[in-house]
Chain A
Amino acid sequence: MHSKQDKKLKLLWFQGVTCNGNTHSFLNLPNIEQLLENFEILYHPILPSIYSLEEILKLEENCDLFLFEGTYDPLMQHNGVELSKIVDYYTKHATHVISVGTCASFGGMFKATAPERNSGLIFNEEESFGPLLEQKQKVINLSGCPVHPEWLSYTLSMIVSDKEVEVDELHRPIELYSNLAHHGCTRNEYFEWKVDVDNFGEKEGCLFYKQGCRAPMTHASCNKILWNEVSSKTRVGTPCFGCTEPDFPRTDMFSTKTNMSIPQDTPLGVPKRSYLTLTGIAKTFHIKRLEGKLIDYKTTR
């Protein structure tokens, strides 16, 4: 007989077409045990759960929170039960639905397995599309490939505290996604003075001009809420791939798309003309301190 913990919110985590990346990312949350004490976990593909997959597929229980990981493919089946039926059943009574990761939010990486029918729960990239359009007010999109565990923790904590999670036009919490990945980047001085980096893993230099970094146009707080509490892609010398945005994944993610040497996309909200004016002038000046290894720069003569 299953033990039921009264008054706790009932959480059900279900998967569509997925690599399990969000599940694994969530396991890195330092306070995962304390957080999950607030919930009754009906089902999770990895965490200890009250019900087995077979029991969940009988479609007899109800949950308060339905967390969905992976791309939504209406024809996908779990033990002979169509995903569309499963999602339809559990979301009907849930007060909150969380799309965990970019696949569940916008289609993401696994949209490619069947692009004509796969999508997120309420978006196909930026277009309104998906099985939950009629109840989209209860859907919170936590995009990211994978989602940052702290972003999921924040959202779950807000729901447990019965606080409203304000979302943007793509249903992402504005508290987490109003920032750009550029904010807090330790390479910002190099961005300002237009000093490029030629290789990955270098501590110095900006990754925007050659390496395809999307941080100045990507809504994410990766450089404010650090990964594993210590780092981020740009901090270790890898470009931001813009994985929280609806157009992820793009092609050629390790190179900056340029037209006649000019970046095709400019930082969010910055007109191309203004950007080029500033860039042209900044590039004129050579700041010796920024051209070599910082550790080699002599501060005294």
Chain B
Amino acid sequence: MARVSKEERKSGIISAALKLFSQKGFYVTTIPDIAEKVGMSVGNFYNYFTSKDLLAKELVLYISQYLGDKIRAINESDDSSEIKIQKIVTMYFDMATEKPEMIEYFLRVYLSNREVFGEGCEGMTCVSPFITEMMIFFSDGVESGELHNQDFFSAFGLFMGYLGGMVFLFGEKILPDPLEEYKESISLNIYNALKTR
């Protein structure tokens, strides 16, 4: 049987912790819970992460990097802003459907327990890869004349707040249909709200 590398182990911890934190909450989940789910001793766990807070920050960075890489690929395409919006919405909803723990963690742990993410994760520090790509998306859209020039956070809130809200409703089982069904209409709404007038 192939030996499991340290990186694979670490990846296993991240995956298990994401699920536990997003299902049970940050404070209720303990390190022994995570260690047990990964199948390692608590002592060994500390070889990978020295505290639960540190793990929590690492998880935000992991999600932000994941989202940032996906949006970067979209940004680097020759697509119009309208198509890019469709692709970002699709990517985000697919992620919420296939890996709900990532978005759940972001919404229910990162945004709801800000006290945990103080030192070392201030402001945009831990979400920089994601925010940077959204800045590039908006900036390119204005430069090409497709999007209306406005304050970044006004546009960002409209875009990501909308998506986050829909995923939250989906997670709460309030939405009557799967997220898939909303991709087209939401993409169009976002584009209509952001396009040049």
Taking a contact as CB atoms under 8 Å apart, the answer to whether A261 and B122 are in contact is no
Taking a contact as CB atoms under 8 Å apart, the answer to whether B151 and A280 are in contact is no
Taking a contact as CB atoms under 8 Å apart, the answer to whether A280 and B128 are in contact is yes
A227-263 Cβ-contact flags toward B at 8 Å (1 or 0)? 0000000000000000000000000000000111110
**CB within 8 Å for A281 and B128 given contacts A260-B147, A260-B152, A261-B153:** yes
B23 within 8 A of A: no
A101 to B153, CA, bound (A): 42
Taking a contact as CB atoms under 8 Å apart, the answer to whether B124 and A284 are in contact is yes
Instruction: Give the contacts of B118-161 with A (CB-CB under 8 A).
Output: 122-125, 128-129, 131-132, 135-136, 138-139, 141-143, 147, 149-153, 155
Taking a contact as CB atoms under 8 Å apart, the answer to whether A261 and B125 are in contact is no
A264 to B144, CA, bound (A): 12
Q: How far is the CB of B7 from chain A (nearest CB, A)?
A: 24
Specify the chain A residue showing the minimal Cβ separation from B138.
A260
Taking a contact as CB atoms under 8 Å apart, the answer to whether A285 and B132 are in contact is no
A283 within 8 A of B: yes
Q: How far is the CB of A272 from chain B (nearest CB, A)?
A: 7
Q: List chain A residues, Cβ under 8 A from B132.
A: 273, 276-277, 280
Q: Which of A258, A261, A272, A281 contacts B136 (CB 8 A)?
A: A272
Q: List chain B residues, Cβ under 8 A from A283.
A: 123-124
Q: How far is the CB of B72 from chain A (nearest CB, A)?
A: 8
Specify the chain B residue showing the minimal Cβ separation from A257.
B149
A117 to B127, CA, bound (A): 52
A277 to B132, CA, bound (A): 6
* Interface class of chain B by DSSP: helix
Taking a contact as CB atoms under 8 Å apart, the answer to whether A260 and B142 are in contact is yes
Taking a contact as CB atoms under 8 Å apart, the answer to whether A260 and B150 are in contact is yes
Q: Which residue among B129, B131, B135, B138 has the maximum number of chain A CB atoms within 10 Å of its CB?
A: B135
Q: List chain A residues, Cβ under 8 A from B142.
A: 259-260
Q: List chain A residues, Cβ under 8 A from B135.
A: 260, 262, 276, 280
A221 to B195, CA, bound (A): 42
Q: List chain A residues, Cβ under 8 A from B131.
A: 280
Taking a contact as CB atoms under 8 Å apart, the answer to whether B123 and A262 are in contact is no
A260 to B131, CA, bound (A): 13
A283 to B125, CA, bound (A): 9
Instruction: Give the contacts of A265-297 with B (CB-CB under 8 A).
Output: 272-273, 276-277, 280-281, 283-285
Taking a contact as CB atoms under 8 Å apart, the answer to whether A262 and B138 are in contact is yes
**CB within 8 Å for A259 and B149 given contacts A283-B124, A285-B122:** yes
Q: Which of B122, B124, B125, B149 contacts A260 (CB 8 A)?
A: B149
Q: List chain A residues, Cβ under 8 A from B123.
A: 280-281, 283-285
Taking a contact as CB atoms under 8 Å apart, the answer to whether B151 and A261 are in contact is yes
A175 to B192, CA, bound (A): 52
Taking a contact as CB atoms under 8 Å apart, the answer to whether B152 and A261 are in contact is yes
A283 to B124, CA, bound (A): 8
**CB within 8 Å for A262 and B152 given contacts A272-B139, A276-B135, A284-B122:** yes
Q: How far is the CB of B154 from chain A (nearest CB, A)?
A: 9
Q: A261-B151, A283-B123 are in contact. List 18 more A-B contacts (CB 8 A).
A: A258-B149, A259-B141, A259-B142, A260-B139, A260-B142, A260-B147, A260-B150, A260-B151, A260-B155, A261-B153, A262-B135, A262-B152, A272-B136, A277-B128, A281-B124, A281-B128, A284-B124, A284-B125
Give me the 8 closest cross-chain CB pairs, A-B, nearest first. A284-B123, A259-B142, A261-B152, A260-B138, A280-B124, A262-B139, A259-B139, A260-B152
